[in-house]
Amino acid sequence: KFFVERVRKQMSRMGGVIWWNLMDGWPQMSDAVVDYYYEKKLAFDYIKRSSKPFMIMLDEFNTWGHDVVCANSTLSDISGKVRVRDVDSGSVIFEKSFTAKANSNTTLGKIELRCSKKGMLLIEWRLDNGELGVDLLEISDGVTAFAARNIHHMHQQTAAFDMAQEIVAQTDTLA
């Protein structure tokens, strides 16, 4: 997720990511996203979500905060609304209507964070066509954390993402 989003944020300078090791050729531990038995590994869903044609993400920590960035890889301009919430407090820390130009990235604004900030952020968006999207980010010391610190935590985050997606779909207030 981290690497795909990093490349997408630099769309004008990087052409994309080639996954050369998609599947394990024999039972083993590796960086492939599908194992020898055709079971998807945990990374599969992270990569799938971060490779969608349109998504909203946070850029790396820079000057006491994170830029909120729309990555639009479609051939059409896309409009909608985005909201970023602190999961622990439920408070909205960023909200904005946007129009993202076709085949480009659009910086929507900045979320100011202190270096001591730890927790989870929920990014939710609704496009004018009704499509709903969410992303869940861990913040550690004010910086978006590379979520691969341990497998148990990644499973918790994936479960939280699924739950957040259901809650946002049921209580959509971005409409």
- Residues 156, 162, 168, CA angle at the centre, nearest 5°? 130
Query: Residue 43: how many CA atoms within 13 Å on its side-chain side?
Result: 19
The residue count of the chain comes to: 175
Q: Outline where the chain has alpha helix (H).
A: 2-9, 42-50, 151-170
Q: CA–CA distance from 78 to each of 65, 129, 134 (Å)?
A: 25, 9, 16
Q: Residues 6 or more apart from 64 whose CB is under 8 A from it?
A: 112, 113, 114, 115, 142
- 100 forms beta bridges with 78
pTM score = 0.73
- Separation between Cα atoms, residue 116 and residue 24, nearest integer Å: 40
Residue 116 phi, psi dihedral angles, 5° rounding: -85, 0
Per-residue pLDDT of the chain (175 residues; tens, 9 = 90+): 777 777 777 777 777 777 778 888 889 888 888 999 999 988 888 888 888 899 998 887 777 888 899 999 999 999 999 999 988 888 999 999 999 999 999 999 999 877 666 788 899 999 999 998 888 877 765 455 544 343 444 445 556 666 666 666 666 666 6
Identify the CA nearest to 64 among candidates 22, 8, 111: 111
